[in-house]
C-alpha cells in the first residue's frame, strides 16, 4: 500500500515538473545560446551559423544550467501535484484512511534528496566538461570552419590577417570583383584587385587564385598587373578559450584555491585576490546548488500538502515565493569582501539551511488542523 501511494504521488509530481522543466529550460537555455553565439559573430558570419550549431550549444549549456532548472521545476511539480490532490479531495481521503500528511510528503523528500545527489554529479563532472566543449566549439571549431569563399558579399570583411571585399559570388564558387588588403611586417599594406578569383584547397590549406587584376604594394610606384596570381590564404581568426572556473571540476577548484590563497598571502596582489575570490564563489555555488533541490522540497512539500482548494494560481504563487525567497537569501548572504574560503562556503549554505529549518518546522505541524 505504501509503495503504491509513493509511486502515485511521484507520478503526480513528475508530470508538472517535466512540463515546467521544458518551459523554464527553453527560456534559460535560449538566453544562454544567444549570449554564446553573440560572442562568435565577430569571427563568424551569422548566415553561416547552422541549426546544428544552435542545438549543440544548447546541449552543452544544459548541464551548467541544471543547478537552476532542476530545483525550480521540481518545486513547481511538488506544488502543482499537491494542489491537484487537494482540489480532488485526495489528501482528505488519505487522512480519513489514517495516512498522515507526513507520510504523503515522505517520497517527495526522498526524491529531493536523490535529486541533490544527481545534481552534485552533474555540476561537478558533466557541467565543466560541457562548458569546455562549448567554449572550444565557439572559439575554435566554428571560426576554423569558415573559408574565404563563405564571406558575405558587398562588405569588407576581416579574414585572418587579410581584409577582403567580394563583389559577387557565382553559383559555381567563382568570386567576382575581389579586393584583398594584406598587411606587411613594416606596417604597410599591399592591395590586390582582381576581376575574378577561385579558392583552391590543398594539403597545406587553401590558395586564392586571382585572375586579371593588379597589385598595388606599399610603394605605389611598383604597381603590377597580372593575369594569374596565387596567394596562400591565412588561417581564419579564432577566439581565445577563456580560462574560467566554470570548466574546472571540484578537485581542480580546490587545488586552484589553495594555490591562489598561498600566492595572495605572499604577494598581496589585487589581480590574484580577484581571481581567488572568483574561485571561492564558484566553490560556494558548486556546494550550495545541489542542496537546493532538497531545501526547496523540504519547504515546498508541507506547504503543498496543507494547501486548500485554491487552484493552480496558489500553487504557482507559493512556488514563486519560495524560489524568490531562496535567491533573495542567496543575494543577501553573498560575502561583500574577500574572506577565507571555509567561511565563504558556509555562508553560501545559509539559504539552504534556513529553508530546511523552516520546512522542518512546517513538516512538524503539517498534520495539525
Tens digit of pLDDT for each residue in 16-37? 888 888 887 787 777 777 777 7
Q: Which of 177, 251, 192 is nearest to 225 (CA)?
A: 192
Is 218 a residue whose pLDDT tops 80? no
Cα separation, 176 vs 249, whole angstroms: 51
Q: What is the pTM of this model?
A: 0.73
Tell me what pLDDT residue 211 has. Answer: 92
- 61 CB burial (10 A radius; 0-12, 13-18, 19+): buried
What is the rounded CA–CA span in Å between residue 145 and residue 135? 15
Specify the pLDDT at position 304: 77
On whether the CB atoms of residues 192 and 180 are closer than 8 A, the answer is yes
pLDDT tier at 357 (50, 70, 90 boundaries)? very high
Query: What distance in Å separates the CA atoms of residue 32 and residue 26, rounded to the nearest whole number?
Result: 10
Q: Which residue has the cell 563563405?
A: 150
What is the predicted pLDDT for the residue at 15? 86
pLDDT at 302 over 60: yes
Q: For 127-150, what is the mean pLDDT?
A: 83
- Per-residue pLDDT reduced to its tens digit, 62-71: 887 887 788 8
The β-bridge partners of 158 are 163
Residue 168 near residue 153 (C-beta atoms within 8 A)? yes
pLDDT in tens, 70-115: 888 888 888 888 878 877 878 778 877 888 888 888 888 888 889 8
- When pLDDT is averaged across residues 212-228 and rounded to a whole number, the result is 83
* Percentage with pLDDT > 70 across the chain: 93
Return all residues near 289 (Cβ < 8 A) that are at least 6 apart.
67, 68, 71, 119, 123
**Direct distance between the N- and C-terminal alpha carbons of the chain, in angstroms, rounded to an integer:** 25
Q: Which residues contact 112 (CB under 8 A, 6 or more apart)?
A: 74, 293, 294, 296, 297, 298, 301
The residues facing 200 across adjacent strands are 207
**β-bridge mates for residue 232, sequence order:** 207
Are the beta carbons of 159 and 151 closer than 8 angstroms? yes
pLDDT of residue 39: 66
Please tell me the predicted confidence (pLDDT) of residue 289: 85
* Nine cell digits for residue 64: 551548467
Amino acid at each position: 500500500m505504501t509503495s503504491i501511494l509513493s509511486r502515485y504521488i511521484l507520478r503526480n509530481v513528475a508530470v508538472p515538473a517535466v512540463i515546467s522543466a521544458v518551459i523554464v529550460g527553453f527560456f534559460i537555455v535560449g538566453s544562454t545560446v544567444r549570449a554564446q553565439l553573440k560572442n562568435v559573430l565577430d569571427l563568424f558570419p551569422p548566415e553561416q551559423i547552422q541549426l546544428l550549431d544552435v542545438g549543440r550549444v544548447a546541449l552543452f549549456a544544459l548541464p551548467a544550467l541544471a543547478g537552476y532548472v532542476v530545483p525550480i521545476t521540481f518545486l513547481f511539480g511538488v506544488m502543482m501535484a499537491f494542489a491537484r490532490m487537494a482540489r480532488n479531495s485526495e489528501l482528505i481521503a488519505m487522512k480519513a484512511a489514517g495516512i498522515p500528511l507526513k507520510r504523503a510528503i515522505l517520497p517527495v523528500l526522498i526524491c529531493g534528496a536523490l535529486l541533490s545527489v544527481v545534481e552534485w554529479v552533474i555540476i561537478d563532472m558533466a557541467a565543466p566538461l560541457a562548458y569546455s566543449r562549448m567554449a572550444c566549439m565557439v572559439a575554435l571549431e566554428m571560426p576554423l570552419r569558415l573559408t574565404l569563399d563563405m564571406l558575405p558579399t558587398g562588405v569588407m570583411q576581416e579574414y585572418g590577417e587579410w581584409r577582403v571585399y567580394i563583389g559577387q559570388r557565382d553559383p559555381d564558387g567563382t568570386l567576382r570583383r575581389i579586393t584583398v588588403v594584406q598587411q606587411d611586417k613594416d606596417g604597410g599594406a599591399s592591395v590586390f584587385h582582381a576581376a575574378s578569383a577561385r579558392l583552391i584547397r590543398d594539403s597545406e590549406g587553401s590558395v586564392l587564385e586571382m585572375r586579371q587584376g593588379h597589385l598595388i604594394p606599399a610603394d605605389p610606384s611598383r604597381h603590377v598587373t597580372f593575369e594569374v596570381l596565387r596567394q596562400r590564404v591565412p588561417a581564419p581568426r579564432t577566439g581565445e578559450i577563456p580560462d574560467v572556473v566554470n570548466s574546472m571540476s571540484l578537485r581542480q577548484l580546490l587545488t586552484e584555491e589553495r594555490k591562489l590563497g598561498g600566492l595572495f598571502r605572499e604577494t598581496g596582489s589585487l589581480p590574484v585576490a580577484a581571481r581567488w575570490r572568483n574561485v571561492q564563489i564558484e566553490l560556494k555555488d558548486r556546494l550550495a546548488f545541489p542542496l537546493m533541490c532538497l531545501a526547496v522540497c523540504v519547504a515546498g512539500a508541507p506547504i503543498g500538502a496543507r494547501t486548500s482548494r485554491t487552484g493552480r494560481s496558489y500553487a504557482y504563487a507559493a512556488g514563486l515565493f519560495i524560489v524568490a525567497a531562496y535567491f533573495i537569501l542567496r543575494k543577501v548572504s553573498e560575502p561583500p569582501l574577500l574572506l577565507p574560503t571555509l567561511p565563504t562556503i558556509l555562508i553560501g549554505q545559509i539559504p539552504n539551511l534556513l529553508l530546511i529549518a523552516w520546512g522542518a518546522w512546517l513538516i512538524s505541524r503539517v498534520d495539525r488542523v
